[in-house]
Structure 1
């Protein structure tokens, strides 16, 4: 059988390099940055480590070799991400967001757009290149992003509008974004490029009216507010952006009318990455608690691991870590087979592993006991980081579960397809009129 979980020589080397980077370059920066009350300063504190990660190819290695990237597979990416996230998942998110922003250009952009935007991203001599993934918007009524592909026209769904100015060959952007990562850049003057999901047709619903816009650093009409101060992932910058008559040339627009597919595929690609990131944090919590249990006696004569309840608890955590890693690897392998079109298994891996993580960390904390609340120890930070995973990256309830269900509801869905690594169908939603009619019929039935 061609199923083998043994790492190749290349993967072992990749793992060693990623582990050395995480432990020797990144780890010494984490505590001070995490505790800094200023989120922008926390973000800037990891810049030197980011530059080193860029030089190692971790920041843009997913870009195809044809455009200067490493052409790394989704499976190989798992090896790197687990090692970095075992030290800090917020830093790893900065790297992940480069992919969320740039991979849509790989999948949906023209050849001219790929040459213009991907090549510079992979060949920055400074090693500072940042790309922002600009989708999420401020909550409200209407507001927020979870129903970005719903049938309702503006102002529901995506509220950042892009009106075409035919006379000047430009799109004029107005509105704001909330929560985009990397968007503000190292100096709050903007990332090198922001890939924004915009509404190019205000009269159409989310499955027909959305597109993607490339907004480079220095574009007039964009301002960046101070980053959001967060519970976890404090090393990752999340901004509020305001667009006021921001003009971008029409050649910077892609996937016109298919912005919903851009969002869905990007968050499918990131699913296995978020899954293995969860595994990395769970692994660190497990290893810390295991070491504690082997040396701490709790006032007794023997280390507490000699007590059955402690040993069983740690065994459960160990099982969760191994199950999560297997699922993440399987999902990444599936995406490699199907050009990142795994709209059920990608979200499944993300949801499963992120929900597993919080429980695993808390179990580890119960082993350590009240001392796990001591902020000089790492477990309280692991718990804060764990709380982020089910909520970010197209939140489990908000978007990822909905996508899984959309695949399962397709008449052509084969429930055995994922086990067989066979394709699973996923396409655009029904036209707005059909969706609205369905909703009305459903209400009548209820």
Structure 2
């Protein structure tokens, strides 16, 4: 378990979740783990107490995901359901939306997916073409568009869809968030055939003039990017937690192997060619955690601008540290690193996700160069 500057409450939470993860291990059953984590209050630790949550924040939720990942049993839908959707509804939803969704998201009986990425609008959210228009006769919303690489739609009760509506004053399109039930007419999904080995499946969605009631809109129609980034910043922080946990899991397996594996007189971990890269991987993961903790602190304190910068940096650092830790772990085990027995080979692909999603490392470098350093844009 890592050395941290955390409060005693955070240390207790980390130890308890680590114990839960150890009980389930890397051969875990997703539904069983989800159910037990929910009963223990871990899934809704960031949601308001008034709606059955723990009253904490993204800092606490990131601890839960990191420790489960370190035990080899991460729950990807934690990034989506309580972190993104739960946070957005808690901050901007109506009283009715909060009453309807938050208790279920907190106790794990309900889940939500999140749909933003489109076939022709990956990192460029300004090119989102999913649009919503009002029915002048009923006041309903009509939602049309496509989404791609949306996680867990088949197990989610609804999907929080990022669409765009026309500004009545300027005519420009602005982002808005809509809750789309899984069984909504005109809402279809197609599973994407992925080589990624994960419990949660990926889907392409088609929204064909889905009719939604007026109260399907989350938050203010004119809030735009404020509400969107209220969900995207926790997503980046939680992705960092996911990556750090995965990296820690791979590193622990490699260290255990390096301590015991003996080819000559001493275990291979005594050789600096093996030991130093593992030490470097540990350092990189610890540094990434510090940035993740900073991002979570800023977000929970209500500093959305500061959290945006830190969340991007944390996601970048964690993704890089994860990929390097997994690669070094596999290399340490040699041929054993590619066997099913040790469970590291599947992480080679999974680790790349933390570099790619939900935003690529190149776009994060763009963000830092433009927003932090004040350099001009090339696009």
Deviations 1:65-88 (A, max 9, x none): 232211222222232121111134
Deviations 1:343-371 (A, max 9, x none): 11111110111012112221222222232
1:96 aligns with 2:79: yes
Match of 1:53 among 37, 51, 55: 37
Match of 1:287 among 249, 252, 257: 252
* Separation of aligned partners in 2, 1:206 and 1:46: 45
1:22 to 1:210, Cα distance in 2 relative to 1, 3 A: same
TM-score with structure 1 length normalisation? 0.76
Indicate the residue corresponding to 2:322 in structure 1. 357
Deviates more, 1:379-388 or 1:204-213: 204-213
Indicate the residue corresponding to 1:268 in structure 2. 233
Superposed displacement of residue 405, structure 1 = 4.1
Indicate the residue corresponding to 1:77 in structure 2. 61
Over the residues paired in the alignment, what is the CA RMSD in angstroms? 2.8
* Separation of aligned partners in 2, 1:115 and 1:260: 24
1:18 aligns with 2:17: yes
* Separation of aligned partners in 2, 1:361 and 1:315: 13
Matches within 5 A, 1:21-420: 21-25=20-24, 27-29=26-28, 46-88=30-72, 91-98=74-81, 99-122=83-106, 127-138=108-119, 143-149=120-126, 157-185=127-155, 191-201=156-166, 208-226=173-191, 228-232=192-196, 234-254=198-218, 255-298=220-263, 300-341=264-305, 342-398=307-363, 400-408=364-372
* Separation of aligned partners in 1, 2:361 and 2:170: 23
1:55 to 1:26, Cα distance in 2 relative to 1, 3 A: farther
* Separation of aligned partners in 2, 1:361 and 1:262: 35
Bigger Cα Rg: 1
TM-score with structure 2 length normalisation? 0.88
* Separation of aligned partners in 2, 1:177 and 1:215: 13
Q: Segments of 4+ in structure 1 off by > 6 A?
A: 202-207
- Would you say the 8 A contact 1:161–1:202 is kept in 2? no
Superposed displacement of residue 389, structure 1 = 0.4
Gaps of 5+ in 2: none
Secondary structure, in 3 states, of the residue corresponding to 1:196?
A: strand
- Would you say the 8 A contact 1:27–1:87 is kept in 2? yes
Secondary structure, in 3 states, of the residue corresponding to 2:308?
A: coil
* Separation of aligned partners in 1, 2:312 and 2:169: 27
For these two proteins, the number of residue pairs brought into alignment is: 374
* Separation of aligned partners in 1, 2:67 and 2:164: 38
